[in-house]
Chain A
Amino acid sequence: MLAPKYLPLVAKQVWRHRTRTALTLSGVAVAMFLFCAVQAMQNAVAAATTARSKETTLIVYRENRFCPFASRLPEHYQQRISEIPGVRSVVPMKIVVNNCRASLDVITFRGVPSDKLTMPGGKGEKFRFSAGSMQEFTKRGDAAIIGGALAKRRGFRVGETFDAAGVTVTVAGIIDSDEAQDQNVAYVHLEFLQRSGGLDQVGIVTQFDVKVDDPTRLREVAGAIDAAFEHDQEPTATRPETEFVARAAKDIIELVGFSRVLGLGCLAAVLALVGTAIVLSVQDRIKEHAILQTLGYGRGLIARLIVMEGLLLGIAGGGLGTLIAVAAIEWRGLSMSVEGLSMNVTASPSLVIVGLAGSAVLGIVAGLVPAWQASRRQIAACFRAV
């Protein structure tokens, strides 16, 4: 490592070559910004679709149906599902979306029986209201509790009325929740949503959200549910929630999977940018390094000074890019939705760490070769060459 007393020297080299540094930093920042954006999307997909060992949620859907418009199940299945051993709770839910395809700006209504939201142990128990309240919600028939991500994206406020997919609701509360899906939906009264779809919709729901007691028995319970309705008019297909999201979002997942290559490309760009900057600056300063060596600076020290310069450029540029990415993600509240399911793009602390550490490592790597070359030069020959 480099002794701290040499750090100002490196910093001055970087700071006082303004133009070169500014160009390098902006290039690195852009590349790191893209990398972080791609990484955040990857994380969003992973968080929504990777099976968790503690998973306890099952989604019961109409067999062979994949879009909320097409999945129609009788609401009264609720009773029979709740009697199946291992089931802790059942929430019938009607889903209405304004856009069934993959999109970055979908509004998803979830109609849930009022008592299932408000009663102890119900869905609403996990809500943390940042505005409005559950009381507001119970007061109005057209009330909606909306997720924080959705509120941020559309700029919704409590008391505001909005219309989507032919449904007009009034915002009664804005919530934060540990469940990814809650972030991006509007919870409304089930009856209200059923009515707004026409009389034939009464008594019909899209799906049931089932909680099981024991995560290890998740599939077993799913099998039992499907077996119970096998010979009914509306047979069911029950899957763990993450699997359900993964299936619905297959296209997005493929796309995002491909973006991994983009992410790697961004890293390569950072390496190339810092590498070029260092190589050029070292070329420019052959004589300067010969002077330092004449003053008694050893080869190792020269090499470390140069590597430190790469590290500094990497961290500064990468830090800037990461910061911009985090700010953009936080500000925009991006989420990718398909078929009413959403994957929220968030800027996690780990993203910041990956961004910073990645650019630091790349900065160091970029400095290694020029550092080695510079430290190998014959001092006397350097003075003659210029």
Chain B
Amino acid sequence: MTQAPINGQAEGGLEPIIRCRGLTRTYIKGDNTITPLAELDLDVARGEFIALMGPSGSGKTTLLNLVAGIDKPTSGSLRVGGVELADVSPSRLAAFRSEYIGYVFQLYNLVPVLTAYENVELPLLLHRLSGRERHQRVATALQLVGLADRHDHFPRQLSGGQEQRVAIARAIVTDPRIIVADEPTGDLDKESAAAVMALLEQLTAEMGKTIVMVTHDPKSAAHASRVLHLEKGRLVVQDERFATLAGA
């Protein structure tokens, strides 16, 4: 079962921050069984910036959701930050998400009735912090994404690029180790996309965050330290620099 992972980076060193072995997710829809993710082996080391590419329906979002702990594997093993996600309780999983994961969506997914400030504050409410500490952290996060002057703006008063930057601030405000991003630039114009990518790159380079990002855009993928290709739920080798083995 301990097949060599698709990259050899983590061998011998620290445990990779994300470690999949035989990771499988199936859905049963009526009589059909859909398997968006099949027997996936993957290691991601701390501080890596992974770009996940592949055609629509190839299982990219499914993989992100599993890593982010908002979905559970059907079989196989998935260790993130040393926690085996396949067999933790829902409440432990929620705590895991709060501590380890910042999720950035394609469509930002800000809460419409909350201001930028309040949206960023949301994940912090779960932490034991004084009101003042919370305020400081939110202000810092908004400052980092360049929106220090937009605290009181509601999502509808912001541009797409600004919304996405608020979403990034919300994802990093708790200082999680892993950022997962599902086509974060998919809905943005060129300039906004570039700003978001610069921000993500800064997060790995300066703060050592591990990022797993789904993208269709080769330009965005170029920011990553490693590009993975999914097809029909399996990783395929396209980038010779890193891949040593193709599954099936």
Contact = CB atoms under 8 A, between A and B. Distances in A.
B82 interface: no
Contact of B94 (A9, A298, A378): A298
Nearest to A15: B113
B97 A295 contact: yes
Contacts of B95: 296, 298
Contact of A295 (B65, B118, B126): B126
A358 B103 CA distance: 42
Contact of A296 (B62, B123, B131): B123
Interface string A345-386: 000000000000000000000000000000000111001000
Nearest to A381: B71
A294 B111 contact: no
B113 A295 contact: no
B154 to A, nearest CB: 9
A299 B94 contact: yes
Interface in B77-107: 90-91, 94-99, 101, 103, 105
Interface string A298-318: 111000000000000000000
Nearest to A296: B98
A290 B103 CA distance: 12
A175 B98 CA distance: 66
B157 to A, nearest CB: 14
Nearest to B25: A380
Given A16-B113, A17-B113, A294 B97 contact: yes
A292 B122 CA distance: 8
A380 B65 contact: yes
A296 B94 CA distance: 5
Contact of A5 (B101, B112, B125, B170): B125
Nearest to A299: B90
Contacts of B114: 12
A297 B70 CA distance: 11
Interface residue tally on B, bucketed by range = 20 to 34
Nearest to A287: B109
A299 B91 contact: yes
Contacts of A300: 91
Nearest to B110: A291
B68 interface: yes
A293 B94 contact: yes
Nearest to A285: B111
Contacts of A294: 68, 70, 97, 101, 103
B123 A295 contact: yes
Contacts of A331: none
A150 to B, nearest CB: 52
Contacts of B174: 296
Contacts of B118: 9, 12
A13 B111 CA distance: 10
B62 to A, nearest CB: 8
B197 to A, nearest CB: 22
Nearest to A8: B118
Nearest to B125: A5
A230 interface: no
Interface centre among A17, A295, A378, A380 (most CB of B within 10 A): A295
A299 B89 CA distance: 11
Given A12-B118, A379-B71, A296 B109 contact: no
A376 to B, nearest CB: 10
Which 4 pairs, one residue from A and one from B, show the smallest C-beta to C-beta distance? A296-B98, A298-B94, A380-B71, A379-B70
Given A288-B111, A291-B111, A296-B96, 11 more contacts: A292-B122, A295-B103, A295-B123, A296-B94, A296-B123, A296-B126, A297-B98, A298-B90, A299-B91, A379-B65, A380-B71
26 contacts: A5-B125, A6-B125, A9-B125, A13-B113, A16-B113, A287-B109, A291-B111, A292-B111, A293-B70, A293-B97, A294-B68, A294-B101, A295-B97, A296-B96, A296-B123, A297-B126, A298-B91, A298-B95, A299-B90, A299-B91, A299-B94, A379-B65, A379-B70, A379-B71, A380-B70, A380-B71
